[in-house]
Amino acid sequence: MKMCSYLRNILLLVLLNEIHLHTAHGQLSDDYTGHSNADSDENAFDPHNLLKYYATSQTTKEEEVYVFPPLSRLDPGDVGTIVSVELSPGRWFDRITRAVKPPIFEIPDFLSDEECDHIINSAARNGLGTSQIYGEDNEPDPNTQDIFRVSQQTWLNRNNLGGMFLDNLQNKLSTLLNLSKEIIKGSESMQVVNYLPNGHYHAHLDSTRNTGNKPCCFQSSCPTPPGPECCRICRYATVLYFLNNVDGGGETAFPLADADENTMTRFLEGGNLAHQWRNLSNFCHNSSVVIGPKRGTAIMWYSHLMEAETNYLGEIDDYSYHGGCDVTKGTKWIANNWINAATYNERFVKSIWVD
Ligand code: OGA
Ligand code: FE2
């Protein structure tokens, strides 16, 4: 009896080895390294039909091919819609739609006072430095002396925040956004920002347009901090937390949210309109969406569209321009969690943030 199962195991091993050898040059491994003409291949990965994908592959090795999880997107409904969502077991939160284009949501009390303090204290312990803008220096505008981003910032990871805190937050984010935990874990660290009076961040996009064929920074080995000559940012969504109540000012404003197409066209032409609207020291309260900084509130929005045919990262969403208005009194603390996502063509490339 013993001998019999021994022989069977040997037979199994030989068989598995055979399968392994046959798959070494198979369809899937080619896709992984080449990610070239997968689209024209009849066995190409179709995110809508995982079953077909597994059924048509001829080997047992497909599990080893990495595929970035497909995205999803929350339906905002109409402005003012409130949906009650259970973000951790037994804990329900209101998710309020503040805009439709792009979908912008406000989630009051997303973080508790203790959690806000924990983030602020961890940032202070880590030390903050002058904030920069991706790929640009932050020198004053020679005409107006205006500085685009005036704040101090730092990055916090698992070591700073603690494993339990981060796991809990990542679970909540995954549920809020309806995105796989893997996408959340594979995203950038948390950025904490502190503004003093006159501190602000004029209206900007959190992500970059898909021009040229630069890889996404979170999938590349570009130097830190990465610059536009090496990679693009690829932040599908932003979750911004207000960590304290501000004595004056410090709203987050979206000057183009739900704007009509005509306005957007004029804005994108640049010139005066764009210049005026982006300067939130002046334009803050003319913005279509202005959210006052309230401790514990999270704001969530998408900076990219989702590509409809593939469910991967689509075009940048110009309606997502936003920024932080001047703090007029006191200090303002926020934190950003940027959720990185892959394009369809780069779906076989892992995030550098996961092992
Ligand atoms: C940012 C940002 C807005 C704010 O840090 O990218 O948009 O209200 N901040 O501070
Ligand atoms: Fe931003």
In this structure, which amino acid lies at residue 248?
G
Decide: pTM greater than 0.95: no
233 and 181 housed in the same domain: yes
Q: Are residues 93 and 46 part of one domain?
A: no
Provide DSSP, 56-78.
Answer: H--SS-GGGS--PPPP------S
Q: Does residue 244 contact residue 332 with C-beta atoms inside 8 Å?
A: yes
In a domain? residue 127: yes
Count up the domains in the chain and report the number.
2
What are the tens digits of pLDDT across the range 318-344? 999 999 999 999 999 999 999 999 999
| Same domain flag for 286 and 336 | yes
Residue 200: strand pairing partners: 150
Do 129 and 93 sit in the same domain of this protein? yes
What is the residue whose two structure tokens read 């912008």?
Answer: 104
Q: Is position 138 within any domain?
A: yes
pLDDT of residue 21: 33
- Please give the Cα distance from 338 to 58 (Å, whole number): 38
User: Which residue, of 29, 64, 99, is where some domain finishes?
Assistant: 64
Q: Are residues 182 and 48 in the same domain?
A: no
Handedness of CA 154, 333, 296, 324 (dihedral sign): negative
- pLDDT of 2 above 60: no
Domain assignment present for residue 355? The answer is no
User: Are 336 and 238 contained in the same domain?
Assistant: yes
Q: How far is the CA of 151 from the centre of ligand 1 (A)?
A: 10
Note down the domain range covering 177. 82-340
**pLDDT (average), residues 237-258:** 98
Tell me, yes or no, whether 77 lies in a domain. no
Same domain? For 197 and 115 the reply is yes
Instruction: Tell me: do 20 and 102 sit in the same domain.
Output: no
Tell me if 96 is assigned to some domain. yes
Would the pLDDT of 52 be above 50?
no
Over residues 167-215, the pLDDT tens digits come to: 999 999 999 999 999 999 999 999 999 999 999 999 999 999 887 789 9
Q: Nearest bound ligand to CA 249? A: 1
Q: Kindly report the CATH number assigned to the domain that includes residue 238.
A: 2.60.120.620
Q: Which atom of ligand 1 is nearest to the CA of 251?
A: 8
| Domain-embedded: residue 23 | yes
Check residue 332 and give its pLDDT: 98
> Does the pLDDT at position 346 exceed 90?
yes
Is 253 found in the same domain as 193? Answer: yes
Whether 54 and 146 map to the same domain: the answer is no
Angle between helix axes 163-177 and 113-126 (nearest 10 degrees) is 120
Q: Span 100-114, mean pLDDT?
A: 98
State the ligand closest to the CA atom of 151: 1
Residue 109 included in any domain: yes
Identify which has the larger pLDDT, 216 or 36: 216
Tens of pLDDT along 192-201? 999 999 999 9
- Interval between CA 323 and ligand 2 midpoint (Å): 6
251 touches ligand 1 (CB under 6 Å): no
The rounded Å distance from CA 310 to ligand 1 centre is 30
Answer whether 329's CB lies under 8 Å from 191's CB: no
Burial 70-81 (b: 16+ CB within 10 A, else e): bbebbebeeeee
Residues 23 and 89 in one domain: no
In a shared domain, residues 53 and 101: no
What confidence category does residue 59 fall into, taking pLDDT thresholds of 50, 70 and 90? low
CA of 336, closest atom in ligand 1: 5
